[in-house]
A and B are shown apart, each in its own frame.
Chain A
Amino acid sequence: MTTKIGRRQMLLAMAGAMGTTALGSAIGRAMEREGSTADKDRKLLFVLCATGGASIVDSFLPVTRTEVDDDALADTLNVYEDAHIITPTGSNIRCPGYVEPAGLLGNLYELGFSLDGFLAKHHRWMTVLTQECTSVNHNVGQHRAVTGAGINRGRTIMEAMALRHGEDLIIPNCNMANDGYIQPGVDPSLPAFAQAEIIASPLGFAAALDGVKGVLGAPDRALVERARGVREELDDASMFGKTFADSPRRQRFLTNRREVQPRLEAAKMMDRLTLLPPELLDPKYGVMSSPLLPTLASKFSNFLVDPWESQAALSVLLAYYGLSCVSTIGLRQEPTFGNEKLITTPIAFDFSHNDHRMAQYLMWGHVLKAVDALVDLLQQLDYLGDPALGKMWDRSMIYVATDFGRDKTRPAGAESWGTGHSLNNGTLIVSPLLAGNRVFGGIDPTTCETYGFDGSTGDSDPGLKCSEGHIYSAIAQALDIEFPERIDMSALLA
């Protein structure tokens, strides 16, 4: 409670000192909400980073050959045969059907998850937004996908989320992704608690939540606590401690050790977040698997070998146990093996350079398989295990971030081809907090280039382009994150 008050006071003071009002008013409003609690009103954000350029034209905004109305032109565009496009019953969104593995490496892949199956199941929660980003450099594009190209003082949407909803949480912002998606924002005034905790090993992260448990031969915990007390005395009284009493780096370390570590250990989070199954945990360590592991394993069947799935599984635990309000996960560059074949391409979506259609279909399926599992789990689980707080899903948003789009053309008549990077693209968000079963913006069938929309009315307009800032603003508005430069995206709200 002390920490909570301290943080709020600090944030209010900081907002006032900088002459900014949005942050201050947002926090002020949160404090004024009568009868509400932080837990009750907290939102949850899951950022799924589709590394390498996930093309909206190859998922939920495809173009058919007849829409081009010119066979010769259609032969040179990334269009689908009409019969290949599926619109499930009740869906206003459509997608390509099964793509037969083809091309030079076609036999290496195992297609495990269909886009149309996902669409049929989840279309009511799906919002497709067109956009045009501002860089075709991977790292730059990735960073801008989560900073809205700097629209909110350079804060990532995850940092903004932690600031808005995570002030009472122990590690509000956990980031398991990679490359530009793990780079911090550039706002030097961001409080330390909102900065990302980088997690490179989801399967081993639970051990980082307890300083003693599972360490073979460690003395009794009471004795360890005694040693910690002695250490604190030594640290403050030593010549080193006195000399560097004001070191920010040392202070940050000691604050986490003295204030956060005891909270984590008291909450016994190591056993709750351990993703290793009992058969991989030697009893001599005295560590238990998470009680939710069977539930998670039923949805993430490959989580022990697929980092994407283990990241997604950990993100559920971090939110469910109230440690975090935003988790970011990312596709790794190395391919993942299924039973006998590859279930992801090397370098993720960027394998589109070699084989566009195959890479897009395979990787979209891999991304959506995790989204499907997340939605199912969030719909199943009560937030913090408390039925009074409702299902986690009711407060959740899944943002599928990507670097940029892909080229829209192909060699005439080619069935298998490679594409370069393109600024033009679109974004998928899955959430009950946005107007679902909707496409905002549109696509020109004669170019396969998307065009934008008016965020306040929702009207598509071929003369408009929506940027990373529009996507950032839409997410922020749905998650009650205010900032002065936020673009009005009211038409997208549920």
Chain B
Amino acid sequence: MIMRILLRSLLPVLALASGCRDGDAGGTEDTGADEVQRAQRGELQWKRNAALQRDLMRALELPEDGVCNELGRGSCTREIHHIALGAADPLRIGLYEPLPDTLVSTPIVLDRVVMSACVNRADLDRGGAPVVFTELDFGEAAPAPEDEAFAATVTALYRRLLSRDPEAHELTTLGGLTVDDAGEPVSAHEFAVLACFAIGTSSEFLFF
């Protein structure tokens, strides 16, 4: 009952606010259906260490110890780089709340974690029944961008890591990973790792 009264009382305000936004030349403009509206406040949440680990485990179907082990000495996400990946550490260093923002080392550590997870997945798929890179022939070179295997692989990675399909321009851009700087085809294994790394270290994967 109270909630209903509250909502009813807020309706005029919401309508007014909505109208103001549409008519505000300094805010988001109606630039057409294909244009993206820029978030005015831009508030993003940082996917912290445990969530990052779980997302990689889920997306790449890896066991907990299959994501990243730093030089064989401990979990990247839980033990060695947990602070840079946004964890709290109340027991060891008295950090009772995680840091609000990323550190200088955060993007570097993210590179290491995702690279390790991608390599581990590609290695598993190459050595047994493939789970993620099902369309790749690991004994061959990377598929050409126009091949079905290329689109299928990239689409699988987008769905697994970003929960959406790739846009056409994204498929085109990722086509650059099928060859090296000299234009020579890379191996299917290298393509799998590089595509996984490029998508998995994107800001879209780290923030939400």
Chain A contact residues, CB within 8 Å of chain B: 139, 170-171, 177-180, 182, 192, 197-201, 203-205, 207-212, 214-219, 222-224, 226-231, 233-235, 237-250, 252-254, 256-257, 260-261, 264-265, 276, 280-282, 285, 287, 330, 332-333
Contacts and interface: CB of A to CB of B under 8 A. Distances in A.
Interface stretch (B11-19, B53-61, B129-137, B198-206): B198-206
Given A201-B80, A214-B71, A281-B71, A226 B44 contact: no
B78 to A, nearest CB: 11
25 contacts: A171-B105, A179-B93, A197-B104, A198-B95, A204-B80, A207-B71, A208-B84, A208-B112, A210-B112, A211-B108, A211-B111, A214-B71, A219-B194, A230-B174, A231-B199, A231-B202, A235-B203, A243-B36, A245-B42, A249-B46, A249-B102, A250-B44, A250-B203, A252-B102, A254-B107
A281 B84 CA distance: 23
A230 B115 contact: no
B109 interface: yes
Given A179-B93, A182-B93, A208 B108 contact: yes
B146 interface: no
A210 B110 CA distance: 10
B101 A249 contact: yes
B72 interface: yes
Interface string B58-97: 0000000000001111100001111110000100111100
A247 B43 contact: yes
B88 to A, nearest CB: 10
A182 B83 CA distance: 12
Contacts of A244: 39, 42, 44, 203, 207
A245 B38 contact: yes
A304 to B, nearest CB: 11
Given A212-B112, A217-B123, A242-B38, A227 B44 contact: no
B177 interface: yes
Given A219-B193, A249-B43, 11 more contacts: A177-B93, A201-B80, A207-B81, A208-B109, A230-B176, A234-B199, A247-B44, A249-B42, A253-B203, A254-B203, A261-B108
B61 to A, nearest CB: 18
B197 interface: yes
Contacts of A192: 101
B92 to A, nearest CB: 6
Contacts of B92: 178, 200, 332
Given A244-B207, A252-B102, A218 B202 contact: no
A330 B94 CA distance: 11
B173 interface: yes
B203 A204 contact: no
Task: Give the dominant DSSP class at A's interface.
Answer: helix
B176 A199 contact: no
Contacts of B181: 222, 226
B141 interface: no
Interface residues of B toward A: which range? 35 or more
B99 interface: yes
B30 interface: no
A230 B194 CA distance: 10
A34 B112 CA distance: 43
Nearest to A274: B71
Contact of B194 (A203, A224, A237): A224
A235 B203 CA distance: 7
A234 B71 contact: no
B83 A253 contact: no
9 nearest interchain CB pairs? A211-B111, A179-B94, A247-B42, A257-B107, A217-B119, A208-B105, A204-B80, A240-B204, A227-B194
B102 A223 contact: no
B155 interface: no
Contacts of B103: 197-198, 256
Interface string B142-181: 0000000000000000000000000101100110110011
A462 to B, nearest CB: 37
Contacts of A246: 38-40, 42
A420 to B, nearest CB: 21
B204 A238 contact: yes
A243 B198 CA distance: 19
Contacts of B39: 243-244, 246-247
A129 to B, nearest CB: 26
Contacts of B116: 215-216, 218
Contacts of A182: 93-95
Contacts of B120: 217
Contacts of B40: 246
B180 A234 contact: no
Given A211-B111, A215-B115, A276 B170 contact: no
A179 B96 CA distance: 8
